[in-house]
Amino acid sequence: MASTENQAQPAPKKGAPRWLVRSAIIGSALLPLPTVLAYGCDSPTQFDDLCGWVRDPNNCYRDFFVDVGASCGATPDTRVGSFAGRDKLGECYLSAGGVVVFEPPIDLALPPGDNPEPLKIKVINPDQTECAEFEFRAKYDFKATFEGDPLPDAGVDANDLPEEFILGGTFDMAGGRDSDILNVTCPGGETFTFDRLQVTRCREFEAILPHAEIDFSPGGIEQTGVIRLNVFYPPTEGELSNAQPVPINYFECVIPAAPPACENGVKDGAETDIDCGGGFCTSRCDDGQLCITDDDCLSSACVVDMGIKKCAGGAP
């Protein structure tokens, strides 16, 4: 299980960078997209400049966080919920209303990240509207989509949008699961191709590279499990050099504990039939259930019936 501190973080202050995001999205059809950044480390010609991008205070990932803030996230309170059962891990019902939908359902034997199939997650509000959608493939291979407010008329000035206006959109970092090549698509449509190994030239910014993690514990007998999604953003204030990322925990879903042996509805251990017999369970088996000795049976009679030993009230 990955270890992540899930302390509540202050919502980012929505200040000066927001007009840059708004202008980029509303005017993206009019402006050419950059192919090489002008900041920092010299990069091989086939890759964009990762060091320059991550140290740029107006890079699209930081502006994305300024825009969406902690929408659907942990500020001020983590969305906590639980699954209906250990065999029903496709929907987590939130205590404050709403649901988190997992596709495919969580596999207790195959943690997210080890599963070759991406884990798709939808966070649904109590009114059944969609708040956010995520696709987790690996730490440096994820996608986050947030529903935005309806866009104004095309002629509106981006600076005239109200401060609380959320543009939303999708940030996608792909490829980091199987290689060091990161293909980034920004909410405004800009695309970049980075070599993650470039960060060795600017270690002071490594912690604020876009990344996501899933905390997962399957739990066990009489022990609950949990699954959480954490996305790590650069801070919205202060210096970025040697800064620590801001973790946003979008949900915490409790996995019910497994029932104790002899109460789990399956034949396991030394049981001669489901949840009974074998000297392992305190419960003896009813008539018709399998047995080995008389002590396995409530009737104290284990007899052979058609070649099979079963509990019976008397001789067959």
Q: Which of 255, 279, 299 finishes a domain?
A: 255
76 prior amide bond cis, ω within 30: yes
Same domain, 248 and 293: no
Complete DSSP assignment for 158-178: GGGS-TT----EEEEEESTTT
Same domain, 155 and 272: no
Q: Is the pLDDT of residue 52 over 50?
A: yes
Mean pLDDT value of segment 52-68: 94
The pLDDT of residue 44 is 45
Mean pLDDT value of segment 77-104: 93
Q: Is the pLDDT of residue 141 over 50?
A: yes
Mean pLDDT value of segment 120-130: 93
Q: How far apart, in Å, are the Cα atoms of 140 and each of 36, 74, 175, 240, 313?
A: 21, 21, 8, 19, 64
Q: Which of 255, 274, 298 finishes a domain?
A: 255
Q: Is the pLDDT of residue 100 over 70?
A: yes
Same domain, 37 and 168: yes
Q: Is the pLDDT of residue 232 over 60?
A: yes
- Tracing tokens 């979008």 back to the chain, one arrives at 250
Q: Is the pLDDT of residue 287 over 60?
A: yes
Same domain, 301 and 273: yes
Same domain, 178 and 268: no
Same domain, 31 and 108: yes
The pLDDT of residue 61 is 97
Same domain, 292 and 198: no
The pLDDT of residue 186 is 97
Q: Is residue 129 part of a domain?
A: yes
Tokens of 69: 């803030």
Q: Is residue 8 part of a domain?
A: no
β-strand partners of 243 = none
User: Phi, psi (5° rounding) for residue 87?
Assistant: -100, 10
Q: Which of 217, 238, 255 finishes a domain?
A: 255
Three-state secondary-structure class, residue 66: helix
How far is the C-alpha of 285 from the C-alpha of 277, rounded, in Å? 6
Same domain, 25 and 143: yes
Q: What length does the chain have?
A: 316
How far is the C-alpha of 183 from the C-alpha of 174, rounded, in Å? 5
Same domain, 201 and 273: no
Q: Is residue 1 part of a domain?
A: no
Same domain, 176 and 305: no
pLDDT tens digits, 169-201: 999 999 888 899 999 999 999 999 999 999 999
The pLDDT of residue 314 is 55
pTM, 2 dp: 0.74
pLDDT tens digits, 2-35: 334 444 444 444 444 443 444 444 444 333 334 4
Q: Is residue 168 part of a domain?
A: yes
CA dihedral over 23, 28, 32, 36, signed as positive or negative? positive
Domain of 297, in residue numbers: 260-316
Number of domains present in the structure of the chain: 2
- Tracing tokens 């803030």 back to the chain, one arrives at 69
- Per the model's pLDDT, the better-predicted residue between 78 and 241 turns out to be 241
- Lowest-pLDDT range of 47-51, 111-115, 132-136, 179-183: 111-115
Q: Is the pLDDT of residue 36 over 50?
A: no
Residue 72, Ramachandran bin (φ over 0: left; ψ between -120 and 50: alpha; else beta)? left
The pLDDT of residue 29 is 33
